[in-house]
Structure 1
Amino acid sequence: MSARRGYTVRCVCSFPGCKETSFYHYDTQRELCEGTAAAQQRAGKWLCVRHTSPAEVLAENNPTTSHVLVNVELEHGRFWRQEGHEQVGGSGFVFGNGYKAYAKDFPPGTRLTITAKLELPSQQGEPHE
């Protein structure tokens, strides 16, 4: 019995002049047909992260980004969810480089602000902040 190989789709960003690519693997032809990335690529609408969420991409002209999560009390416990979103659920545990937070450890309404900040080397003659 041979192993199934599946289907790989190479997506190229449709933003003018962008050459970013990504590969998506689908195990079955059904997944391939239903796959969002594959459908976007076929329609010429797939965008790389840089063009899907440009405000979240760190750059010299965008050296800091922040993401705020709010602790909410739901029927099944406390959860973190993105501020301003009324989606059902969330995550009881969030983590990233340098932090870990269990929602049950904090009262509802607690805000968790996650910030990433670039600190570029000083330009000659410019003081480093």
Structure 2
Amino acid sequence: MRIRTYTRPCGATGCPERSRIEYRARHELNGISPVWLCADHARPEEVLGAANTSTSMVLVTAPHYSGTPETLTGQYWFREGAQTPSRAVLAGPGFRAVAAKLPEGTRLTVTARVDIPGAEPTPDVAPTDPLAAFLADLAELTARHQLVIAGCGCEGSPWLENLDGPTDFRNIPERLTYDRATGRYTTE
């Protein structure tokens, strides 16, 4: 019997993607919806690019029951808040997590990030970690102004230095103060 191809376009306006399904008999297409969305349009929040450089998902282990009467089929990973299990084993680049080998309620956070050449790097900062957020912002300031905070622990520490040269600003420590009322640094 000859192999035929059923082609359907992505349902998103202007998208050039096509789905191709090979079949031998017409009945094999029963239940195939003529409406289809490509991966970019079905789950746009998961598509990484210049506008969305990172994505994250949390999964939790829990027992799964099925059948009548309900019987335990095993421990699975569930997307946080979902009622339907995802899989018993999750794997990706650099990790493999078997739900049955972990206690119920174990959380798996999977994060993916792209660093596009020439673009501002996406900092690895947890929004609840103020020190990590401060250090990420400080790294951006260092890159933008080409100044780095340096010091040796002595009375004149810390000071500012040019990132790319020997010139330093050792006179700033005596005069640099933070004004809490205005939220600014001043040199007096």
TM-score by length of 1: 0.77
| Mapped pair 1:104 → 2:105 | no
| Mapped pair 1:23 → 2:10 | no
- For 2:91 and 2:121, locate their aligned partners in 1 and report how far apart those are by CA, in whole Å: 34
TM-score by length of 2: 0.55
- For 2:44 and 2:79, locate their aligned partners in 1 and report how far apart those are by CA, in whole Å: 18
| Mapped pair 1:94 → 2:84 | no
Structure 1 pair 81–127 and aligned structure 2 pair: CA distance change class (3 A): closer
| Mapped pair 1:117 → 2:113 | yes
2:74 to 64, 73, 77: 77
Tell me which stretches of 4 or more aligned residues in structure 1 moved more than 4 Å. 126-129
Q: AA paired with 2:13?
A: P
3-state SS, counterpart of residue 16 of structure 1: coil
Q: AA paired with 2:62?
A: V
5+ residue gaps, structure 1? none
- For 2:82 and 2:88, locate their aligned partners in 1 and report how far apart those are by CA, in whole Å: 16
Please give the root-mean-square deviation of Cα atoms over the aligned residues, in Å.
2.1
- For 1:84 and 1:61, locate their aligned partners in 2 and report how far apart those are by CA, in whole Å: 27
Q: AA paired with 1:94?
A: L
Structure 1 pair 60–32 and aligned structure 2 pair: CA distance change class (3 A): same
- For 1:86 and 1:9, locate their aligned partners in 2 and report how far apart those are by CA, in whole Å: 33
Equivalent residue, structure 1, for 2:30? 33
Report the alpha carbon displacement of residue 90 of structure 1 after superposing the two structures with TM. Answer: 4.1
Contact 2:11 2:36 (8 Å CA) reproduced: yes
Equivalent residue, structure 1, for 2:36? 46
Q: Which has the higher contact order (CA 8 A, sep 6+)?
A: 1
Q: How many residues align?
A: 116
